[in-house]
């Protein structure tokens, strides 16, 4: 037994620096969960009498909630951060999507990484067009076919995740599904992604809504009769939701889907700095460091950037954002960046039909970052599932997997355009 632990169904709120034990009893089982937190320790060890599923960090500090396979709905909990644990805000429309993970792929980490190993190589070729931005930089737009102004064939613009590209398996899979249904599709590379350094010291960040907004304007001018829809994954999803909230009724987009979006960057930066999620953090920071080193090969650019060889700048996302993201993009501090770039406060202002898809077990996204229905506008549909990992959502079986997102996203977009005679419903 851990020091300071206690069994029970009561809620405890401990002051900072004090051991905190929180016990929760499931409503319909006798599964007792105990959470223990100590100041300075990144994870909360636990004792459970019955179930053995993975725990989900809620606040990155002391609030952890375990999901019991036998009955997932548990009583709320209290953390030393003062989070009240209201289930409607924690679970945010819990199980509004009936996603079932593939047999053998129920674990959130398997859901997260499976697609990259199952479909490691891109199979859809694209042509790239470069757009000169107003500030003297450039954006790449990849499309598998020549784009045309056709009101019967909507154009779907895809925004990838952190250090992603048109070659990312989830992007390739969505492109294939959309093309099969007669959509036009194009993928925007955020600045510096895709292996080509951008021209300016700044690059892109989780709240960078100006670039996709500007590109959507360019596309609308080129194809004025074509409906434009946007799908964003992870970082790209948060960027998309922020843009939709900022634009409100003036948005030029007719429909949107955001997948696995970190809508509260404060909470999500803590989430990814705990437990096995640190492995993803280490990998992504390694990718960012390689991109920055490639960019810093130009002596003039190296002089304008923080020291890319300082390993201390890459120990976690908060440190990286403090050293690189915030100063290079005009934020006062890392906390100012997280506050201004988080899309969650803007979700009530969205006026475009929007589907937000998240999994409670996402190893990147803190469940408290997922909104409840009262935190979004009537134009937003919440698609929250118990499982799915981060941009995973693999169903079927391990031997015959199917990619649930590649059916769900086109189905939603088709529902928005209604009786379009050309686009084929899934």
Q: Report, in this order, helix, strand and coil percent for the chain, each rounded to 5.
A: 30, 20, 50
327 touches 244 (CB < 8 A):
no
57 touches 77 (CB < 8 A):
no
Compute the distance between CA of residue 115 and CA of residue 254 in angstroms, rounded to an integer.
Answer: 29
Compute the distance between CA of residue 101 and CA of residue 111 in angstroms, rounded to an integer.
Answer: 8
Q: Which among 142, 322, 329, 390 is annotated as catalytic?
A: 390
First to last CA, the chain: 53
186 touches 231 (CB < 8 A):
no
**Where does 223-350 have alpha helices with state H?**
235-247, 265-271, 277-295, 299-304, 317-320, 326-328, 334-341
Known catalytic residue at 362:
yes
Q: Which among 55, 79, 234, 395 is annotated as catalytic?
A: 234
Q: Are strands 155-159 and 138-143 parallel, antiparallel or unpaired?
A: unpaired
Owner of token pair 């709320």: 76
Question: Sign of dihedral through CA atoms 354, 232, 313, 80?
Answer: positive
Owner of token pair 């784009």: 147
Compute the distance between CA of residue 320 and CA of residue 238 in angstroms, rounded to an integer.
Answer: 19
Task: Give one DSSP letter per residue of 123-186, joined into a string.
Answer: -S--EEEEEE-TTS-EEEEEESS-----TTS-EEEEE--TT--TTSHHHHHHHHHHHHTT-EEE
157 touches 139 (CB < 8 A):
no
Known catalytic residue at 368:
no
Known catalytic residue at 168:
no
Question: Sign of dihedral through CA atoms 130, 131, 133, 139?
Answer: negative
How remote is the C-alpha of 59 from its chain's centroid?
16
Q: Which among 362, 368, 385, 395 is annotated as catalytic?
A: 362
Owner of token pair 């995740």: 161
Write the CB contacts of 139 (distance below 8 Å, at least 6 apart in sequence).
130, 131, 133, 188, 189, 190, 191, 211, 215
Active site residues: 234, 362, 390
């Amino acid at each position: 037994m851990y020091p300071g632990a206690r069994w029970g169904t009561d809620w405890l709120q401990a002051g900072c620096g004090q051991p905190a034990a929180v016990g929760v009893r499931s409503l319909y089982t006798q599964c007792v969960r105990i959470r223990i937190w100590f100041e300075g320790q990144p994870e909360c060890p636990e004792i459970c009498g019955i179930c053995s599923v993975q725990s989900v960090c809620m606040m990155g500090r002391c609030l952890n909630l375990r999901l019991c396979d036998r009955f997932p709905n548990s009583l709320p909990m209290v953390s030393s951060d003062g989070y009240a644990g209201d289930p409607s805000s924690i679970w945010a429309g819990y199980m509004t999507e009936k996603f079932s993970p593939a047999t053998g792929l129920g674990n959130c980490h398997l859901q997260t990484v499976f697609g990259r190993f199952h479909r490691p190589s891109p199979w859809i070729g694209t042509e790239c067009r470069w757009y000169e931005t107003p500030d003297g930089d450039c954006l790449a737009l990849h499309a598998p076919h020549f784009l045309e102004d056709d009101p019967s064939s909507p154009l779907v613009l895809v925004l990838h995740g952190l250090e992603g590209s048109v070659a990312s398996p989830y992007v390739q899979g969505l492109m294939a599904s959309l093309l099969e249904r007669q959509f036009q599709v194009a993928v925007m590379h955020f600045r510096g992604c895709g292996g080509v350094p951008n021209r300016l010291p700044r690059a892109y960040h989780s709240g960078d809504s100006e670039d996709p907004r500007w590109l959507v304007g360019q596309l609308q001018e080129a194809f004025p009769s074509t409906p434009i829809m946007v799908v964003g994954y992870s970082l790209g999803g948060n960027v998309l939701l922020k843009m939709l909230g900022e634009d409100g009724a003036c948005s030029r987009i007719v429909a949107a889907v955001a997948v696995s979006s970190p809508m509260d960057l404060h909470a999500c930066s803590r989430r990814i700095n705990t437990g096995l999620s640190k492995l993803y953090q280490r990998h992504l920071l390694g990718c960012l460091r390689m991109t920055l080193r490639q960019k810093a090969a130009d002596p003039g650019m190296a002089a304008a950037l923080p020291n890319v060889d300082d390993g201390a700048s890459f120990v976690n996302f908060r440190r990286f954002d403090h050293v690189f993201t915030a100063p290079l993009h005009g934020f006062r501090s890392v906390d100012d960046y997280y506050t201004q770039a988080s899309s969650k406060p803007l979700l009530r202002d969205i006026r475009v039909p929007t589907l937000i898809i998240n999994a409670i077990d996402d190893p990147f996204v803190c469940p408290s970052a997922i909104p409840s229905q009262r935190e979004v506008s009537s134009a937003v549909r919440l698609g929250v599932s118990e499982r799915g990992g981060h941009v995973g959502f693999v169903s079927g079986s391990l031997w015959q997997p199917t990619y649930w997102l590649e059916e769900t996203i086109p189905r939603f977009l088709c529902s928005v355009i209604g009786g379009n005679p050309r686009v084929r419903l899934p």
